[in-house]
Structure 1
């Protein structure tokens, strides 16, 4: 039994050894297969690299050939352009030579003419001396015949001349005004109608208040908040007065600063839509609305430049220009007005052959000082000019801005055109609105100016302040003096008052003789 057991154990060991050997042989075979595959992969990779190198060499040669062809073509074009430029230079040299010959001949003529004029002047001096001697003899003869001294005759003559001068002045004014009126109508109608027709634009009327519609009247209480904390927070953060009255489902925002008013309006609308109204949320929404408005301001400024085709302007000027969107003057949106003035000025400049780009740029910027004049005691024209000077605007643009209300002298035609365009835009029917107090003060001012002249009995501002009719004393003021008075009153109004459009001055003089038959 022991021998059988040992035999079994021996067979088991032998079988185990044979099994392990076969397993080892299989792994060796697998390793050999992996080595073959690795070798094949290396060979394939080498082939791919060789193929890629060949393709890259071919493409680089192709690119090099194309580049050489391009260089050759550019060289030919450059040679053609140089040849054309040389021909043009030769032609210009020929024309210049001809002009030099013409100028030399003209200079010779001028010199000969100057010699002739010198001789004529000498003859005139001699004649003048003879006339002076003759005049003295005549004066002595006249004094002896008239039995009057020279001073007495002079005073009598001056007195007569004064009366004649008033008459002649009145006639001259009438004649000049008639001629000027005809010529002005003919030219101005053509130029202005052409310019205004080209510059048609939309008009937006704004006010100093904004109305926010509410979904219901309960929302008023939520806006006010407990003990008024919400409304006080909104007013403190925005600087706008919130008026909550009996108007159903609406609150009114009041402020002269259009930017602040718009921030408050947007913030309240966001709070209403969100539904959460408390001081923390109010501060968050106001800050968000203020950022949106800042972005809108820049976009408004850039849009104005894009609409007018004006390039190259400092960002601070663009921001200030954008703020005009939220500023009004006599109910007229200032940015819309500025764009309209720019278009009118450019069109007038084109009609008159002036610099259209300068006129357009100055017209757009002429009222930029209106958003800067809250804390500075000066007119918006001067403030705007000083502001533009800080950011490197052209002197011609600065002068046009500062001169458009006659506070500095005009230095260019374009500056005058900007002032004219400003007046056209402001006087357009419906462009501006006046408060009742301002309107009444303007009428009172017109009547005060008229009654300040000697000989005026009464004056009446009519046609909404577009005309002033003056009744004068016929015993004090003659017909000729009335014509001159009308001119003086109109000039005084121009110098002392600001008004849209024009004001007609009409003087009425009447002599009545009354008698009763008994």
Structure 2
């Protein structure tokens, strides 16, 4: 009974609990459904609001785009209107031009027609004129007994002679005008330079003869079986000429430095009295060292006195060697120094670089220190040597052009040419052998007489001027000027001479009548 009661009570409690749970679950379900309904309502309200807002925004954007599109279309329409107006104006201009061109074409057609008519008329007149000219030519040929070709040649000959005379006259006038302007200035500059350099110029002469104290000394110099003279010749490279001339020995050598070494060595040996091969070699070596030192010393002193700045040591040695070089008896070093001073003074007067001008003047004959050792002219040797040792173009051009072999490119080069001529041509500067002098005078007169119309020619003033007498019937005054230039050119091309030669052409007409 108790168990049944307990089971019954438990079942009732279980049923009650299940019922309570069902009631509770239904009550919770209703709450969730209510919340879900509320959420759905809220979402629907929000969705409606969002849709409305989106529709409003879309309409706003569409409205704005429509306004912008209308504005752009309006602007495009305005541009199109402007372009249309511009095209219309151009079309009007083109129409106007077309009308103007049409009018001009009509005028051109009219003028072309008129021109054609005039050309046709001119052709007819030309034919008539040619016929009349032919008649006149025939008549002139008949009267003059000369064909038209001969008459033309005669006319051309007359015109050619007239033009030649006018050309010569024009050249003469221009030469006189140029000389009138240039001569005064050049004379002043050169005269001032010479005046500033007016000093006694004594040209040294090469001594090739050694005086002996007695005839017995010749035998000592020759030595036993000629060993002493052979030792001297071998050591110095010279030839000793011992002839019948009393108390003299002649030293012969093309190299002036060797000749000077031999001369000084002989003088030293004669004073010393000990003449034997060993002593000869010792003395020659001593004198050679003294000469070498003296050469460098002379070169340095020359550069220092002229004040031409730093110069290569090898060039200094060549400058010193010029002391022993002579040309027509004129000492090459003294000549170069004189040219340097003259060039520097003239450069100073013209406002040029005086130091550079002196440098060019000093080095213009530098090749003469080499031309007896190396094959070639002193101009070519000097140019190559100075170029090798870095001299400037002005100096190189002065070396090349001072004898006219190359065109002078600088004003200093022309000054060197003038100074070289002055130094070589001044009285007492040079001498030459009598036979060479006579040959040069004869050749000068021969060249002058080689031209047509020359009656005689005379070389005067020691060959520095040639006077040419012409036949007056064969030459007029203008032809004399041309002859003077031709003779000058031929002398320059064929003769070698120091200084300058003046050419004077003389034409004289004498009319004589005898009154009875």
TM (normalized to structure 1)? 0.67
- Indicate conservation of the 8 Å contact 1:388/1:398, yes or no: yes
Quote the residue 1:282 is aligned against.
280
- Indicate conservation of the 8 Å contact 1:204/1:332, yes or no: no
CA gap of 1:143–1:212, structure 2 versus 1, over 3 A, is farther
Name the Cα RMSD after superposition: 3.1
Alignment of 1:432 onto 2:430: yes
Quote the residue 2:414 is aligned against.
416
Quote the residue 2:458 is aligned against.
460
Quote the residue 2:476 is aligned against.
478
SS in 1 for 2:208: strand
SS in 2 for 1:441: helix
CA gap of 1:142–1:283, structure 2 versus 1, over 3 A, is farther
CA gap of 1:482–1:313, structure 2 versus 1, over 3 A, is same
- Aligned-pair distance for 1:270? 1.3
Alignment of 1:441 onto 2:439: yes
Quote the residue 1:159 is aligned against.
157
- Indicate conservation of the 8 Å contact 2:299/2:320, yes or no: yes
Alignment of 1:379 onto 2:377: yes
Distance 1:493 1:422 in 2: 19
If you compute each CA radius of gyration, which structure gives the higher value, 1 or 2?
A: 2
- Indicate conservation of the 8 Å contact 2:254/2:372, yes or no: no
CA gap of 1:513–1:458, structure 2 versus 1, over 3 A, is same
- Indicate conservation of the 8 Å contact 2:308/2:356, yes or no: no
- Indicate conservation of the 8 Å contact 1:204/1:333, yes or no: no
- Aligned-pair distance for 1:341? 0.5
CA gap of 1:437–1:142, structure 2 versus 1, over 3 A, is farther
Deviations 1:230-280 (A, max 9, x none): 122212221222233444433332333221111011111111121100111
CA gap of 1:182–1:275, structure 2 versus 1, over 3 A, is same
- Indicate conservation of the 8 Å contact 2:255/2:372, yes or no: no
- Aligned-pair distance for 1:503? 1.6
Distance 1:238 1:453 in 2: 53
- Indicate conservation of the 8 Å contact 2:343/2:358, yes or no: yes
Gaps of 5+ in 1: 1-135
- Indicate conservation of the 8 Å contact 2:408/2:414, yes or no: yes
Quote the residue 1:344 is aligned against.
342
Quote the residue 2:224 is aligned against.
226
Deviations 1:14-72 (A, max 9, x none): xxxxxxxxxxxxxxxxxxxxxxxxxxxxxxxxxxxxxxxxxxxxxxxxxxxxxxxxxxx
Deviates more, 1:506-515 or 1:370-379: 506-515
Distance 1:460 1:485 in 2: 15
- Aligned-pair distance for 1:403? 1.3
- Indicate conservation of the 8 Å contact 1:321/1:335, yes or no: yes
Count of matched residue pairs = 383
- Aligned-pair distance for 1:368? 0.8
- Aligned-pair distance for 1:220? 2.1
Quote the residue 1:93 is aligned against.
none
SS in 2 for 1:464: coil
Deviations 1:354-376 (A, max 9, x none): 22122111110111111212354
CA gap of 1:150–1:280, structure 2 versus 1, over 3 A, is same
- Indicate conservation of the 8 Å contact 2:208/2:252, yes or no: yes
Distance 2:406 2:430 in 1: 26
Deviations 1:373-392 (A, max 9, x none): 23544321121001111111
Higher relative contact order (CA 8 A, sep 6+): 1
Quote the residue 1:57 is aligned against.
none
Distance 1:352 1:144 in 2: 69
Distance 2:265 2:451 in 1: 56
TM (normalized to structure 2)? 0.67
Quote the residue 1:131 is aligned against.
none
- Aligned-pair distance for 1:353? 1.5
Q: After the TM superposition, which residues 141-290 of structure 1 pair with which residues of structure 2 at under 5 Å, given as runs? A: 147=136, 155=153, 157-290=155-288
- Indicate conservation of the 8 Å contact 1:343/1:360, yes or no: yes
- Indicate conservation of the 8 Å contact 1:366/1:404, yes or no: yes
Gaps of 5+ in 2: 1-121, 138-146
Match of 2:289 among 285, 288, 291: 291
- Aligned-pair distance for 1:174? 4.2
